[in-house]
Amino acid sequence: MNNPASHRLAIYPGSFDPVTNGHVDLIARALHLFDNLIVAVAQNPSKTPLFSGDERCAMITESMRASEVVSELARVETVVFDGLLAHLAVARGATAIVRGLRAVSDFEFEFQIALTNRTLAPSVETVFLMPNARYTFLSSTIIKDVARHGGDVSRLVPPNVAVRLKTRFAKP
């Protein structure tokens, strides 16, 4: 029997502009550890995203439907948020924040953020997950740059995202 007191909800935050195969891989990995997952699409006022928050949420959901994660779709919620992640985690009753580490170079920044979140929300742990090795080089920034210059991103992002990128960067 499922004990509500032991319900484990995690938040996986990011810009997801756009979602990559590495992001989808981390969603699947997080679902092995947690009962439910909120994929929190950050609205960062210091950045100009290629896609709106709603478009990014839709791409995440579409990407999951097109992957092996489809059976877990009911356990995932996508939301757009601004403000402090720690506040969102507490407000939603999350027990953990999931962050991906692609390389050692990610660790120092992620460590600082994790300690800050621990200070702001002591009841919420940060869990670091590594993606499949074949996705360790992926970043949304690299994906956008390749797509902007007409490169093939079809092996790097879910099919629905590849179509949206091709449309967004189509030459008039």
State the catalytic residues. 23, 47, 102, 140
Closest listed residue to residue 21, CA positions, set 150, 148, 169, 133 = 133
Contact 38, 77 (CB under 8 A): yes
Burial per residue of 36-59, b for 16 or more beta-carbon CB atoms within 10 angstroms, e otherwise:
bbbbbbbeeeeeebbbebebbbbb
Contact 81, 41 (CB under 8 A): yes
Residue 7 CA to its chain's centroid (Å): 21
Q: How far apart are CA 19 and CA 25, in angstroms?
A: 11
